[in-house]
Copies of this chain bind each other. A is one copy, B any other.
């Protein structure tokens, strides 16, 4: 396999309570698919960056004082993996992700995580604008709904619309099966 980093964004327990985040999420398979990708990267001893959001708001379930700052099961970084703690949406702002990628001669990224529309989208946009080749794994991400100007937009619409916006401009949107089949010659899940 050529040198491609898997960038896992904000798979944290704080993204758990729908009431806090405006209503029900979409895609309950996001974490399972993220873990399938992580296993493939680990088995191949390929580069992995695991990003953790540290909110500046003490009220946030992602504030580092909260137990929900922790990763969801299976997403803790292990030795040799790059652990990035960020305060902004973009994994490139206030971190050394760009430095790590360039020092390791990594030009291609496979990105996924939580949420599609905020941290995943912003990181994907910057990665594309910085010149990295980016595949965004849509079915390993999920969104939260939004209410704006009195209109409720459900999580699936937020997710699908943001992926449509990103595809072809900042990244190629792919599935977990696509990545495993293309990069690891695994059969797609039945």
Contacts and interface: CB of A to CB of B under 8 A. Distances in A.
Interface of A: 88-90, 93, 117-118, 121-122, 125-126, 128-130, 146-149, 151, 153, 157-158, 160-165, 167, 169-170, 173
Given A89-B170, A93-B130, A125-B125, A162 B160 contact: no
A148 B126 contact: no
Task: Return the 4 tightest CB-CB contacts between A and B, nearest first.
Answer: A148-B164, A88-B129, A146-B164, A161-B161
Nearest to A92: B129
Contacts of A146: 161, 164-165, 167
A87 to B, nearest CB: 9
Contact of A126 (B90, B153, B173): B90
12 contacts: A89-B128, A118-B165, A121-B165, A122-B125, A122-B129, A146-B167, A147-B164, A149-B164, A153-B161, A153-B164, A157-B161, A161-B162
A180 B160 CA distance: 35
Contacts of A167: 146, 148
Contacts of A125: 89-90, 121-122, 125
Nearest to A130: B93
